[in-house]
Each structure stands twice: as C-alpha cells, then as structure tokens.
Amino acid sequence: MRPIIFTTLVLFHLSCLPVRATESACRLPSTIETKMFKLTIEPGNKMAHLESGGQCTDIYFPQVWLKASFKKKDMEKYVSLNKFDQQVTAFKITSNIIGFHLSSYEVQKSGSSQTAVGQDIFLVHIISNQTTFKGIDNLGATKRRQRLPGCFSATHSGFLLSDMDNDGNIDIGIMKEELICKRLKNTEADVMEGPYYKQHPIRWYIFDKNGWVYYSMFDRRFPAMSYWELPLIGIMKSPIDYVMGLSREPVMDSD
C-alpha cells in the first residue's frame, strides 16, 4: 500500500538578503517562503533572475542552468522539460546561505497519451558575497506521466528537508514513487498491464560548500528529528496522485 507522508511547514528564519549600500535590508518571514520570489525568464537574455518585486536584491543566474542536460526519452520529444513555473520556494540552509527550489512541468496539449514531464532544480545563494550556484546537478526528469496501451504510467519525486548529519546545514532527501506498466506475457499485441505501485528508498543529498552531494550511507534513513516536505510547484496533484485518481481498479504493489 502507498504510505502516507505528513507535511509540516518549515519554521525557519531566513536571514537578510545581500543589499547594496543604497538599499535597505529586508527579512524573510520565518516559514518556507513561496511568494516572495518569482522566476523571470526573458527571451533572448542569457540571464534569468529570481525577482523579489523590489523588496530585496534580485538574484541573477545563467538561463542555461534551466536547460535539461541529460538524455531525453522518446516521450519528452512532445513536451518540454524547460517550462518552468514562476513560483519559487526559498528555504534556509545556514544563517548565511539560502536554498531555492525551481520546478518545471508541461502537459501535452493534444493526443491520447496525456504525456506530461518536468524537472526540479536547486540553487544555492550565499548572502555574504552574493554568489549563486547550482546545488544539485542533473536529477533528470523528476516527474512524468504517460498513457500506454492498457495502462497509465507515472513517476514523481518529492523532497524532504532535514539535517541528517547534524552539522547545522539543511540536507535534501528525495522520495521517488512510480506507477509501473508491465508488458503482457504470451501476447503479440503491444499491450501493458498495471499500473503497479513502487516506492524507492529515500536518497539523501548532504550539503557541503559545493552544494548537495549524494551519500549512499544515508539511504533508507528517515529523519530522527524534525523534517519538512517541500510543497508542489505549479501543480495541484503529483503525476502519481493524478493517475491514481483516474484508476477504477486498486493499484497493486510492485514486486
């Protein structure tokens, strides 16, 4: 059966963002911040930026960071991995470092497959020197769905925040779920059966000065202390919840 994950708001205090000498300082509310920043992408401009509406210093970074650099699957030829939502989630890593979560998702506008795909990107911003860099490289397509002959498949990765190694920095846990379609045996027709539900062991990316790095020693570990789940961006339901909501039959657990 699919486990239930309880979501708790982050009770963090995000420190002042860097400011110019002529600007006044600003402070973010002591929660996960989903409305203060928005992603702005201008066609023809090599730089994208996290816009704060004049309340704080805007944060600029190369647009190329948003381009998928991994090998695409066939289904991703019909939808883009680079349709990012304007919503941005900010969270505190340390008293001097802020993390940003950006997410893309596009649904096929026509066709019976109802294909959809997206990716998630994490940026790191150091307040003291106003340096910004990519926090995790190439997570791949972190969410997708596709209707196949006789079956609807889906994948979704959710994200937890916690200090797994007790060093005072916030680490990121990735919880991947799948609805898997299996080809029917002893049949000439290209027909699938399922879907079958599978939850992968949680994988932890531990924060250091260069961003979050995957450490297998933390696999399958659930936080012993406080943890928080990042909210969805740009969608009301994950691809898993969307497909399960359409299913007339109980979803079976995968072997």
Does 145 or 186 have the greater pLDDT score?
Answer: 145
pLDDT at 77: 64
pLDDT at 138: 82
Q: Are 18 and 32 in contact (CB under 8 A)?
A: no
pLDDT at 120: 96
**Average pLDDT rounded to a whole number, residues 184-213:** 86
pLDDT in tens, 89-128: 999 888 888 899 999 999 988 777 788 999 999 999 988 8
Percent of the chain with pLDDT over 70: 80
Q: Are 199 and 171 in contact (CB under 8 A)?
A: no
pLDDT in tens, 131-142: 999 999 789 899
Q: Which of 218, 226, 212, 196 is nearest to 8 (CA)?
A: 226
Q: How far apart are CA 119 and CA 117, in angstroms?
A: 7
pLDDT at 255: 61
Mean pLDDT for all residues in the chain: 82
Q: How far apart are CA 178 and CA 12, in angstroms?
A: 31
pLDDT in tens, 39-62: 999 888 899 999 887 767 889 999
Is the pLDDT assigned to residue 23 strictly greater than 50?
no
CA distances from 247 to 11, 151, 251 (A): 37, 10, 8
Q: Are 123 and 130 in contact (CB under 8 A)?
A: no
Q: Which residues of 211-236 are buried (b: 16+ CB within 10 A; e: fewer)?
A: bbeeeeebeeeebeeebbbbebbebe
pLDDT at 154: 94
Length of the chain: 255
Is the pLDDT assigned to residue 20 strictly greater than 60?
no
pLDDT in tens, 221-233: 998 888 999 999 9
Does 144 or 14 have the greater pLDDT score?
Answer: 144
- Using pLDDT thresholds of 50, 70 and 90, give the confidence band for residue 73: low
- Using pLDDT thresholds of 50, 70 and 90, give the confidence band for residue 70: low
pLDDT at 205: 97
Is the pLDDT assigned to residue 21 strictly greater than 90?
no
**Average pLDDT rounded to a whole number, residues 191-220:** 92
pLDDT at 116: 92
